[in-house]
Amino acid sequence: MVRHVGIVVKKIDDVLPFYRDLLGLKPVKKANEDSAFVSHILGLRGCRLVTVKLGAENGETLIELLEFASHPVDPALLPGLTCPGITHIALTVRDLDKMYRRLTRAGISFISPPSRSPDGFARVAFCKDPAGNYLELVEELSK
């Protein structure tokens, strides 16, 4: 079972409204992490960060946003969809067309409009969050 997916962002306040207000995830916990424990488990000296965990109403998996005050991130180093490693997060949505319109009005850019999968079981669209991370939005369809 997946517990959470961690997303490092430059500034949580710039990204949180996307996940909370536009995607509808609920903040579960916010924490200032500046302990020796966090530095130890991450292998970083003097690690200070803020974390916000967000959850959906239909599952136990969380998204954790991490803002490193002690180790700034360079968004130019973010990988693309074809790079090795984790490239995107897929989220299930109820009405992809409605979500697409809502996010587009909010200035979120998509790779392409919602499209039906070849097997007919889903409609899918890829976008980027305000920090440049790829998200796959999936509406499951009954066939």
User: What domains sit in the chain, N to C, each tagged with a CATH number?
Assistant: 1-77 (3.10.180.10), 78-143 (3.10.180.10)
pLDDT tens, position by position, 68-117: 888 777 666 666 665 666 778 989 999 999 999 999 999 999 998 999 89
pLDDT tens, position by position, 77-90: 666 665 666 778 98
pLDDT of residue 142: 83
pLDDT of residue 129: 92
- Residue 21 Ramachandran class (φ > 0 left, ψ -120 to 50 alpha, else beta): alpha
CA distance linking residue 5 with residue 55, whole number of Å: 11
Residue type at position 128: K
- Nearest CA to 102 among 16, 26, 9, 18? 18
Q: pTM above the 0.75 mark? A: yes
- Residue 91 contacts residue 137 (beta carbons within 8 Å): yes
* pLDDT beyond 90 at 45: no
Tokens at 65, concatenated:
């946003």
